[in-house]
């Protein structure tokens, strides 16, 4: 677990600019877009750490800033349209202030991404093999023949049947699941130490999804990579994540181990997510319990706690939800929550009101 | 009168009774055409290849299966947005398989479709009012208080603000747009709604709102649903019965609880074992017992002989390549098309692990020749 929480004997809290301690260290990341309607605060003060060999799941409503965060870490936002501040340290090197060339070099070699839609990441006019070969040769001075061998090896690793033959196919000749695997092969060809997977299985059926998740797990074990997996499928994060970060309106509202998020969640938004979800492993409930209302506008976030218009506990016992923004603070160990309800009371509410109906 | 047990009436189905819609041996083969000037048919995609399904009035039938197995095509055949190339589509006892556009028009009122993508299925240049009102106009329906009032009533029914009448789709969130699609489907007071992945594009909290709405509407208007989805948790929540498709065929149909608890077809078994379990404490167990299907998905252009699942099935025997298994009723209401259905022992933890191991042994080349020697 790697939130910025200190235990006895830990060194003093880091300050902005101080060298990183974790493999990936994101500090107060803000990514704002200027639009005709106003400034979209897509990510607004996000801090988290991740070590090699660990998997972080990021969950949250559509439009809560999950994809913008991952593109920000990889340096994929156009600097003209996005205003980015904060720090992203990867293996001791700061990326937000680094030159675009430097970030480009790291991308593909040290860090890489699996996108939701393989068609946007693969070029339709080049064969699958050619694209993997190119991705490899950008970072390795090897002959074409060697790169081709590597491409075939990767296709084989991700479970493409007859890779020697399929390497010369075009993306459209692959089924959806095979395309996704080919894209994973391309993302992994340089053994990245940081892999970000943004909804890697959303478009796939569960049998293919299970294969892809297995594959990510195996490859992570082999290369000891740090993995961030972004999804709105709580089942998927429960399967793969060590830690889970819950986002709402561009901010982290809860960050804890996967066990804690599922067994002892403390933020009312996290409660809402869990109650909304039909579960295949339980008796069928008469009705699902959705979160009322709609996601907020990121241009005009509600004052105070941005979840307050939808929160059943708003202003409970006079807490200032509508005026004062709650900060992300440690409740119990390694479990941080941004909510004004005192930790002991939150835990009691979960036990008595929420858990029985899950 | 004697009171022998045989003369007692059969147990009434959970909801409704009569078959509202039946498909019998229905087929849809899409021709593959080649040639620059004169197109000639060089083959066919056998998207739906002879299936029998019956939908009872008032029930929800879930339809699941691998991507590309023919679920959407089946939905489009049921709504007669497609004409079958074989077999029959029967609505309330009447064969509608080959009715023309004008003969279908009055029946369109009875069957409506809700589509997956709330973004592309609504015309961005039309107001919400004209989108929802369009079916009323096409059918030339006189409403008691005028069309605008009717549309506003529908908006309220699906939980939208009636004042949004003059707004455009882009002003709404995904969940709200899906509600607009539902309001449009309800405009003609249909009996049957085919919902093709209606909540797949929505995130969990909005998905729950839409699922509850569908539930409420069903109760209020005694609607019948065919619910197509690949999220098996949602399907379990909403369905009375579930049909599982594989490569253009129905391989298993049964009551929801029976099918989820005791799947009989190896494919259903593998599918259910792959559903992610939202419980980190049980993930290792779930992973151990998961049956991963290896091998390539066969093509609907050239499906395997006999049982279509045999190229990926760990239980396949010689007979599976020779004889197509037919649907048989093995449990009350639960029918399966398999020569060697899953047994109780195989459903235990140990059995599941054995199945996983056996499935993993299937060589990849099996997709072309299932009985080739395993690759070393
Ligand atoms: N280039 C851009 N210009 C302006 N606004 C943007 C841009 N990119 C993203 N946004 C906005 O930032 C917000 C966060 O978007 P993001 O894609 O990160 O959401 P998400 O959490 O990934 O959602 P989903 O689950 O739907 O993928 C959204 O409101 C989006 O409209
Ligand atoms: N108009 C068409 N012409 C040719 N082939 C088609 C056509 N429509 C569908 N197919 C093919 O028929 C098969 C079944 O397609 P269908 O869309 O019914 O699958 P599905 O089960 O709905 O899949 P998904 O879960 O991905 O939506 C696929 O192989 C598809 O490529
Ligand atoms: S701070 Fe208030 S409004 Fe926000 S989640 Fe906590 S109780 Fe709800
Ligand atoms: S018929 Fe044979 S190949 Fe088909 S599912 Fe049953 S056991 Fe497997
Ligand atoms: Mg996203
Ligand atoms: Mg479909």
Please say whether the dihedral angle defined by the alpha carbons of residues A142, A144, A147 and A149, taken in this order, is positive or negative.
negative
How high is the pLDDT of residue A17?
53
State the smallest CA–CA distance between residue A15 and chain B in angstroms. Answer: 34
Distance A322 CA to ligand 3 centre (A): 9
Percent of chain A past pLDDT 90, that is, above it, reads 56
Q: Which of B278, B298, B311, B312 to mutate to test the interface with A (most CBs of A within 10 A)?
A: B278
Instruction: Tell if the CB–CB gap between A294 and B230 is shorter than 8 Å.
Output: no
Distance A82 CA to ligand 3 centre (A): 29
Interface of A with B in 205-234 (CB under 8 A): 205-211, 213-214, 232-234
Residues of chain B contacting residue A214, judged by C-beta atoms under 8 Å apart: 287, 292
Interface of B with A in 281-300 (CB under 8 A): 281-283, 286-287, 290, 292-297
| C-beta separation of B209 from B217 below 8 A | no
More confident residue, A4 or B93: B93
Instruction: Say whether pLDDT at A339 is over 80.
Output: yes
Fold (topology level) of B2-110+190-361: Rossmann fold (3.40.50)
Distance A268 CA to ligand 3 centre (A): 7
Q: In chain B, where are the structural domains located?
A: 2-110+190-361
Instruction: Tell if the CB–CB gap between B292 and A211 is shorter than 8 Å.
Output: yes
Distance B76 CA to ligand 6 centre (A): 10
pLDDT-based confidence at residue A118 (cuts at 50, 70, 90): low
* CA dist., res. A72 & res. A80, Å (int): 13
DSSP 3-state assignment of B292? coil
Instruction: Tell if the CB–CB gap between B237 and A259 is shorter than 8 Å.
Output: no
Q: Within 10 A of A279 (CB to CB), how many other CB atoms are there? A: 19
Distance A347 CA to ligand 3 centre (A): 14
Nearest to A134 by CA among A154, A115, A116: A154
Q: Which of B159, B176, B208 to mutate to test the interface with A (most CBs of A within 10 A)?
A: B208
| C-beta separation of A273 from B205 below 8 A | yes
Instruction: Tell if the CB–CB gap between B279 and A214 is shorter than 8 Å.
Output: no
pLDDT-based confidence at residue A20 (cuts at 50, 70, 90): low
Residues of chain A contacting residue B277, judged by C-beta atoms under 8 Å apart: 235, 238-239, 280-281
Q: In what order do the strands lie in the sheet with B334-336?
A: B111-114, B192-196, B224-228, B60-65, B241-246, B249-255, B334-336, B328-331
State the smallest CA–CA distance between residue B323 and chain A in angstroms. Answer: 26
Determine the angle formed by the axes of helices B204-221 and B174-186, rounding to 10 degrees: 20
Ligand nearest to the CA of A314: 3
Burial class (CB in 10 A: 0-12, 13-18, 19+), B221: middle
How high is the pLDDT of residue B337?
98
For A72-86, what is each residue's pLDDT tens digit? 999 988 878 899 999
How high is the pLDDT of residue B111?
93
Instruction: Tell if the CB–CB gap between B278 and A211 is shorter than 8 Å.
Output: no
Nearest to A254 by CA among A356, A113, A350, A352: A350
Q: What is the dihedral of CA B31, B49, B364, A240, to 10 degrees?
A: 110
Ligand nearest to the CA of A308: 3
The mean pLDDT of A16-29, rounded to a whole number, is 81
Q: What is the DSSP letter of B340?
A: S
| C-beta separation of B255 from B235 below 8 A | no
How high is the pLDDT of residue B372?
31
How high is the pLDDT of residue A80?
81
Instruction: Tell if the CB–CB gap between A290 and B206 is shorter than 8 Å.
Output: yes
- Nearest atom of ligand 3 to the alpha carbon of A311: 8
| C-beta separation of A64 from A12 below 8 A | no
Q: pLDDT by residue for chain B (376 residues), tens digit each?
A: 444 434 333 443 344 347 999 999 999 999 887 777 777 878 889 999 999 999 999 999 999 998 889 999 999 999 999 999 999 999 999 999 999 999 998 898 899 999 877 667 788 889 999 999 988 888 777 776 788 888 998 888 888 888 888 888 888 877 788 889 888 988 888 999 999 988 887 778 888 988 999 999 999 999 999 999 988 999 999 999 999 999 999 999 999 999 999 999 999 999 999 999 889 888 888 888 889 887 667 888 899 999 999 999 999 999 999 999 999 999 999 999 999 999 999 988 888 888 888 888 886 543 343 333 333 2
For A313-331, what is each residue's pLDDT tens digit? 999 999 999 999 999 987 7
Among candidates B211, B278, B290 on the partner chain, residue whose Cβ is nearest the Cβ of A238:
B278
Residues of chain B contacting residue A357, judged by C-beta atoms under 8 Å apart: none
Q: Whose CA is nearest to atom 1 of ligand 4?
A: B338
Please say whether the dihedral angle defined by the alpha carbons of residues A298, A302, A304 and A308, taken in this order, is positive or negative.
negative
How high is the pLDDT of residue A318?
94
- Nearest atom of ligand 1 to the alpha carbon of A71: 18
Chain A, nearest residue to B366 by Cα: A161
Distance A188 CA to ligand 1 centre (A): 26
Chain A, nearest residue to B69 by Cα: A205
How high is the pLDDT of residue A222?
87
Q: With helix as H, strand as E and coil as C, how does A308-345 read?
A: HHHCCCCCHHHCCCCCCCCCCEECCCCCEECCCCCHHH
| C-beta separation of B227 from B198 below 8 A | yes
Ligand nearest to the CA of A82: 1
Instruction: Tell if the CB–CB gap between A175 and B297 is shorter than 8 Å.
Output: yes
Residues of chain A contacting residue B260, judged by C-beta atoms under 8 Å apart: 280
Q: What is the ipTM of this complex?
A: 0.82
Q: Which of A173, A290, A299 to mutate to test the interface with B (most CBs of B within 10 A)?
A: A290
Distance B226 CA to ligand 6 centre (A): 13
Ligand nearest to the CA of A327: 3
The mean pLDDT of A56-69, rounded to a whole number, is 90
> Average pLDDT over chain A, rounded to whole?
88
Residue A333 is encoded by which pair of tokens? 């160990």
How high is the pLDDT of residue B373?
32
Q: Which residue has the tokens 């060999």?
A: A53
pLDDT-based confidence at residue A203 (cuts at 50, 70, 90): low
Question: Facing residues of A248 across strands?
Answer: A251
- A119 interface with B at CB cutoff 8 Å: no
How high is the pLDDT of residue A4?
42
State the smallest CA–CA distance between residue A241 and chain B in angstroms. Answer: 8
Ligand nearest to the CA of B268: 4
State the smallest CA–CA distance between residue A181 and chain B in angstroms. Answer: 13
* Cβ of B307 less than 6 Å from ligand 4: yes
Instruction: Say whether pLDDT at A24 is over 70.
Output: yes
For B180-208, what is each residue's pLDDT tens digit? 988 898 888 899 999 998 888 777 888 89
Among candidates A61, A263, A280 on the partner chain, residue whose Cβ is nearest the Cβ of B275:
A280
């Amino acid at each position: 677990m790697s939130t910025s929480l200190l235990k006895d004997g830990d060194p003093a809290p880091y300050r902005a600019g101080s060298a990183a301690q974790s493999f990936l260290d994101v500090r107060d990341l803000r990514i704002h877009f200027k639009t005709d309607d106003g400034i979209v605060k897509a990510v607004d003060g996000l801090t988290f750490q991740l070590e090699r060999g660990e998997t972080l799941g990021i969950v949250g409503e559509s439009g809560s800033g999950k994809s913008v965060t991952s593109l920000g870490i990889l340096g994929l936002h156009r600097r003209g349209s996005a205003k980015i501040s904060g720090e992203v340290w990867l293996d001791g090197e700061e990326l937000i202030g680094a030159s675009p060339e430097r970030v480009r070099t790291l991308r593909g070699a040290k860090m890489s991404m699996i996108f939701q839609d393989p068609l946007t990441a693969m070029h339709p006019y080049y064969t699958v093999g050619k694209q993997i070969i190119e991705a490899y040769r950008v970072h390795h001075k090897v002959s074409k023949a060697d790169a081709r061998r590597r491409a075939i090896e990767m296709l084989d690793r991700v479970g493409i049947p007859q890779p020697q033959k399929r390497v010369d196919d075009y993306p459209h000749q692959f089924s959806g699941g095979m395309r996704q695997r080919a894209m994973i092969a391309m993302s992994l060809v340089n053994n990245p130490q940081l892999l970000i997977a943004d909804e890697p299985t959303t478009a796939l059926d569960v049998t293919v999804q299970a294969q892809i998740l297995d594959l990510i797990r195996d490859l992570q074990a082999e290369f000891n990579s740090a993995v961030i997996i972004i999804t709105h499928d709580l089942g998927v994060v429960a399967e793969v994540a060590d830690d889970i970060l819950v986002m709402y309106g561009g901010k982290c509202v809860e960050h804890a181990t996967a066990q804690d998020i599922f067994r002892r969640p403390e933020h009312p938004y996290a409660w809402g997510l869990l109650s909304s979800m039909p579960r295949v492993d339980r008796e069928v409930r008469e009705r699902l319990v959705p979160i009322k209302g709609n996601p907020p506008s990121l241009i005009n976030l509600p004052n105070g706690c941005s979840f307050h218009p939808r929160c059943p506990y708003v202003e409970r016992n006079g807490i200032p939800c509508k005026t004062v923004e709650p900060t992300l603070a440690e409740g119990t160990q390694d479990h941080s929550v941004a909510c004004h309800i005192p930790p002991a009371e939150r835990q009691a509410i979960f036990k008595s009101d929420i858990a029985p109906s899950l | 009168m004697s009171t022998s047990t045989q003369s007692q009436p059969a147990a009434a189905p959970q909801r409704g009774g009569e078959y509202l819609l039946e498909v019998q041996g229905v087929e849809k083969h899409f021709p593959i055409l080649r040639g620059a000037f004169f197109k000639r048919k060089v083959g066919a995609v056998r998207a739906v290849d002879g299936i029998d399904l019956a939908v009872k009035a008032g029930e929800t039938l879930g339809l699941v299966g691998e991507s590309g197995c023919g679920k959407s095509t089946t939905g489009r055949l049921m709504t007669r947005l497609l004409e079958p190339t074989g077999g029959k589509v029967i609505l309330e006892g009447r064969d509608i398989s080959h009715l023309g556009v004008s003969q279908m028009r009055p029946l369109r009122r009875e069957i409506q479709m809700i589509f997956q993508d709330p973004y592309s299925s609504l015309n961005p240049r039309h107001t919400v009012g004209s989108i929802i009102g369009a079916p009323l106009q096409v059918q030339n329906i006189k409403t008691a208080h005028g069309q605008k009032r009717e549309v506003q009533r529908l908006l309220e029914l699906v939980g939208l603000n009636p004042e949004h009448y003059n707004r455009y789709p882009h002003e709404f969130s995904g969940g709200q747009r899906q509600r607009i699609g539902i309001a449009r489907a309800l405009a003609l007071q249909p009996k049957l709604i085919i919902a093709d992945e209606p909540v797949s594009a929505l995130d969990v909290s909005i998905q729950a709102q839409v699922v509850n709405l569908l539930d409420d509407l069903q109760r209020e208007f005694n609607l019948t649903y065919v619910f197509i989805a690949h999220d098996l948790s949602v399907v379990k929540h909403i369905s009375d019965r579930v049909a599982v498709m594989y490569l253009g065929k129905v391989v298993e149909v049964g009551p929801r609880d029976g099918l989820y608890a005791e799947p009989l077809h190896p494919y259903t078994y593998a599918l259910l074992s792959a559903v992610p379990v939202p419980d980190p404490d049980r993930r290792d167990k779930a992973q151990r017992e998961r049956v991963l299907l290896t091998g390539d998905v066969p093509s609907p252009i050239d499906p395997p002989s006999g049982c279509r699942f045999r190229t990926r099935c760990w239980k396949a025997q010689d007979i599976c390549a020779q004889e197509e298994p037919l649907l048989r009723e093995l449990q009350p209401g639960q029918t399966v098309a398999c020569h060697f259905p899953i047994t109780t022992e195989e459903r235990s933890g140990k059995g599941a692990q054995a199945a996983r191991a056996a499935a993993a042994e299937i060589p990849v080349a099996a997709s072309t020749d299932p009985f080739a020697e395993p690759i070393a």
